[in-house]
Amino acid sequence: MSDYVYGRNSFFEALKNKRVIKAYVLDDSRIKDAGIPYDIVDRKKLNGLCRNGNHQGYVAEVKSFELSDVDDMIKERNGLIIMLDGVEDVHNLGAIIRTAECAGCDGVIYKSHNAAKVNDTVAKVASGALEYMKVAEVTNLVNVIRKLKEKGYWIVGSAGEAKQLYTDIDYDMNTVLVIGSEGKGMSRLVREECDFIVKLPMFGQVSSLNASVAAGILIYNILNKRSK
C-alpha cells in the first residue's frame, strides 16, 4: 500500500528516509538527481493529489507509514511517552507529533477508534517529524497504561479542574503524559488510572487551551524540570 505526503519538509524527510515511490513537482531542480521517478506537473494536478492542501510545489506517493509497537517506546530511565485520549483533530495530532519529536519524546500513542489517525494532513502538519517519531495505535488505552505501569511508568493526566499545577511535580521518573480530547478531556477510565492529574492555570476569559498547545507546554515543562 502507499499514501501521499505533501509540503516541502514532509516531502524531503520522506525522500531522505527512502519512502518516496514517485514524486510530483512543479520544478525538478531539487530532485532530478535523487534517483526517484517523478513527473513535472501543473499546480492543478498537485492540488488534486493533496486535496488542495498547502503542497508548496511538492507531492510524493510514499510507502505506507509503519506504526510502532508500544514495547519499542519503553526506556529504563526518564522515558517520556505521550498518550492521546481521544484527540480528534488531525491538525492537533500532527502538531503534537512534531512537538514530541523536537522534544525527544519516545513515542506517541493514540486509540484506534473515535480519534484522529495518521494521514497525509498529519504528515504535513508534523513537517517531517512523522519520519522519526514512533507512533502506536492501540485499541484499549487502559490496558496499555497498566502495562506501562508494570514497566515503571507514572501516569500524568491533564485536566482543567485539577487541583495540582503542572509545575508542582518532580518528573524525574518514567512518565506517560496523557492529553485528553478537545471537547471532553480524558475519559473516566483513563482518568482513574492516572497517578497525577495536573492543570495549566488560565488567567483570561477562555477556559482552555488548544490540545497541541497544552501538550507543548506540558512536554517542555517536563524537560525543564529534568534539566535541573
Q: What are phi and psi of 222, to 5 degrees?
A: -60, -45
User: What's the CATH class of domain 70-226?
Assistant: alpha beta
Please, which residues have CB within 8 angstroms of residue 70's CB and are 6 or more apart in sequence?
A: 107, 109, 136, 138, 144, 147, 148
pLDDT number for residue 205: 87
The per-residue pLDDT of the chain, averaged, comes to 96
Question: What does the alpha-carbon distance between residue 217 and residue 43 come to, in Å, rounded to a whole number?
Answer: 37
Q: What is the pLDDT of residues 11-64, one digit of tens each?
A: 999 999 999 999 999 999 999 999 999 999 999 999 999 999 999 999 999 999
pTM for the whole thing? 0.93
Q: What is the pLDDT of residues 141-177, one digit of tens each?
A: 999 999 999 999 999 999 988 999 999 999 999 999 9
**Domain locations in the chain as residue ranges:** 2-63, 70-226
The architecture of the domain spanning 2-63 is: 2-Layer Sandwich (3.30)
Question: Left if phi > 0, otherwise alpha if psi is -120 to 50, otherwise beta: which for 185?
Answer: left
pLDDT number for residue 2: 67
